[in-house]
Chain A
Amino acid sequence: MMIKNWGRAAVVGVSALLLVACGSTADSGSSGSSGGTGGVKTDFGVTDSTITLGVMGDRTGVFKNLGEALIGGNELWVADVNAAGGICGRQLALEIVDHGYKADTAKTLYPQLEPKILGIVQLLGSPVLAALKQNLIDDNVSAAPASWSSEILNNPNIMMIGTTYDVEIIDGLSYLQQQGLIKQGDKIGHIYIDGEYGGNGLRGSKFYAEKHGMTVVESKITSTDNDLANIVTGLKGEGVTAIVLTTTPGQTASAMANNAALGLNVPVLGNNPTFDPALLSSPAAGALDKLYVAASSAPFSSKTPKAVEVATEYKAKYPNSPKNAGAQAGYVEGLVWQAVLEKACQNGDLSRAGVQTALKSLTSVGTDDLVAPLDYSSPGAPPTRGVYIAKVDQNAEGGLTEVAPLFTAPDASEYKAPHQQP
């Protein structure tokens, strides 16, 4: 009796499976069409009226604060472009997916997204980027990463926006030395998150230390280690005269709080992701004044006119969203795509290959000074080496005031990035 019904159950199960499966037919292997209006060549994500770009962001994972602002910046850019008549006679559209900073989710979402889009305006998260590296190459999809490591520049499909972490640190240390805060032969501590982000920053401080006879005391942490008391205690014992951070904002707060609490009180240098304005309302707020930030994009409160404009629009459109430099960074990603798409349109080729060709032909993409002019003609090298240097300021909106606008140290120009062609 049981036997028979086991068989029946199996058949029922199978037909259920069939039903489920049939509902999901979507073959991504289909090839795009050539031709279109005005003889512009197209393949994926471009119709006669629309250019569709993808966003693989984080709205629910560990970087949801930054992720939300980045997506906001992307959307502002699209709205601005469409209001001004679009690009190549077409309106822009975004296809946004949220991978929650999980590589496995992203790996499944990607094939669903890929056939619908020309390229990716924002790809957030180094584990995600690492997992999708081969896909981007296979499908020739160009992507602007929300990650600024020079380690990923060996992927020709990566469109780096601004300078990389290693260069940010070199510029920052040069600035500290110019100001007389550190000197030849000093010992400096570097606390870094092991991974693409922190490791790349460490490369910068090692390069700088070697050039200037300094020693680097390294401390490796993971992205969830938030209590750095034991590390700062150790650094104090070593007698460091400055601390470099490539950490999360929370870790920055802990480093700063302990720097003050343990009576070390040395200047601290962070780069773009180390600071978040939310730190100003944390208990560590009083201990942040020794923090310098070297960042390739302008701070939220930057006086650069375009930055002010973006910040104002952003606050008006997303009053409840977190206010951080992600807004401008997301907007800049768009501006670079805009330059690429306009160039590709001129060339009459809005296909993925056409995007690549256009990108490599750009030697000076202006972004209204949101980041330094970008040069994409030498593969493997960061497209710029300029940074903004800012210092924590309780009274500035967004918590940072610029102390040096767009600054490129001679050491940074000399530095050879890991995948830079000679």
Chain B
Amino acid sequence: MNTFLQLVLNGLGKGAVYALLALGFVIIFKATEVVNFAHGSLVLIGGYLVYATKDALGWPGAAVLGIVSAAVAALLIERLLVRNARGADVNSLALLTIGVDVIVTEEVVRRLGNDIPFIGDPYDAAPIQFAGLTVFRTQLVALIVGAVLITAFFLVFRFSNWGVAMRAQAENKEAAALMGIRSSRVTATAWLLAGALAGVAVLFMATQDFSGAGLGRGTHAIALIAFPAAILGGLDSTAGAVVGGLVVGLTEALSAQYVSFEFSKSAVFLVMLVILVFRPSGLFGTRELSRV
């Protein structure tokens, strides 16, 4: 029983971070219908700046700088590249972000050289034990931060002008434009926000508790695992991203124990595949209608 509870705890903790990443995919997708394959490299950019500046600025300063840089990097991708490929459809834009991702990832990994830095200084590797269970402090902090950010996001999304504008744009771009919604500003904010979320997520990812490894190619790979989270929840559903993140975290933890560890990564993708066969737009995604 303890094993089961411990696994659920492990799964929820990781799921919170997957949810933050998945939310990043979803926000961009909702605003622009582009799937951002470069999300993993935003994570790396944020993490790299934390690593590079934490000796000089101290951890809190470096963390803020990391988050801001990931956000700015996302904005730059949108302004410099995605925006300028006007003729391209959304699928081609997704492929464009793959190109960006290849370049950024190789460059960050090259800069890291022989280092695989851990960047969760204030909370990493300081587990809390109670009643025979272990709570990893990183996961606990991630869960709290994740809950706060996601709630804040939902509130903003529902009540702020930007939220209304964005929902309108996601609903119908032309109509939103006619209503005087400035599409360009909504889009820019979406990318900025998604980048910031990636910058927050990496603070938990490159830790002993979460990934067992410092910043590197592996960190980038984790962002890929968040892909199924976004897809199975439904790419255009913010609630779906959160549910998807938790489902992925739990699937991973439980299948590792009850099927086999080497199966656990395939399990995540298989769960996604099964859901997609029955609901081609994910659990909470909007059904695509084909217009003639």
Contact = CB atoms under 8 A, between A and B. Distances in A.
Interface stretch (A204-212, A224-232, A307-315, A353-361): A224-232
A220 to B, nearest CB: 5
A214 interface: no
Interface string B249-267: 0001100110011101000
A231 B124 contact: no
Interface in B1-60: 2-3, 6-7, 10
B212 A226 contact: yes
Contact of B2 (A221, A237, A278): A237
Nearest to A220: B262
A262 B209 CA distance: 11
A222 B211 CA distance: 14
A195 B260 CA distance: 17
B116 interface: yes
A222 B262 contact: yes
Interface string A46-81: 000000000000000010110010000000000000
Nearest to A229: B10
Contacts of A301: none
A65 B262 contact: no
B212 A254 contact: yes
A226 B218 contact: yes
A228 B257 CA distance: 11
B221 interface: yes
A233 B212 contact: no
A246 to B, nearest CB: 15
B164 interface: no
Contacts of A254: 208, 212-213
Contacts of A220: 260-262
Given A224-B221, A283-B208, A230 B252 contact: yes
B127 interface: yes
A251 B218 CA distance: 12
Give the interface size bracket for B toward A: 35 or more
B129 interface: yes
Contacts of A39: none
B2 A284 contact: no
A228 B212 contact: yes
Contacts of A65: 114
A253 B262 CA distance: 19
A226 to B, nearest CB: 4
Interface string A259-291: 001110000000000000010001110110000
How big is chain A's contact interface, by range?
A: 35 or more
Question: A-side binding surface: helix, strand, loop or mixed?
Answer: helix
A250 B127 contact: no
B3 A233 contact: yes
Given A224-B221, A225-B261, A227-B212, A64 B256 contact: no
B214 interface: yes
A322 interface: yes
A4 to B, nearest CB: 31
Interface string B205-246: 001111111100110010000000000000000000000000
B64 interface: no
B8 to A, nearest CB: 10
Contacts of B120: 283
A250 B257 CA distance: 21
Nearest to A237: B3
A231 B259 CA distance: 12
A65 B208 CA distance: 20
Nearest to A255: B212
A219 B136 CA distance: 22
Contacts of A234: 3, 7, 256-257
A228 to B, nearest CB: 6
Given A220-B261, A225-B261, A257-B125, A230 B253 contact: yes
Given A219-B261, A230-B257, A224 B218 contact: yes
Contacts of A228: 212
A194 interface: yes
A183 interface: no
Contact of A262 (B134, B210, B221, B262): B134
Contact of A253 (B6, B212, B253, B264): B212
A236 interface: yes
15 contacts: A227-B210, A230-B7, A230-B264, A251-B212, A253-B208, A257-B212, A261-B129, A262-B6, A262-B127, A282-B118, A282-B214, A283-B207, A283-B208, A287-B125, A322-B114
10 closest cross-chain pairs (CB), A and B:
A254-B212, A237-B3, A226-B213, A283-B125, A226-B212, A261-B127, A230-B256, A227-B212, A283-B208, A283-B124
Given A224-B218, A233-B6, 7 more contacts: A65-B114, A194-B262, A233-B7, A250-B213, A257-B212, A278-B116, A284-B125
Interface of A: 62, 64-65, 68, 194, 219-222, 224-231, 233-234, 236-237, 250-251, 253-254, 257, 261-263, 278, 282-284, 286-287, 322
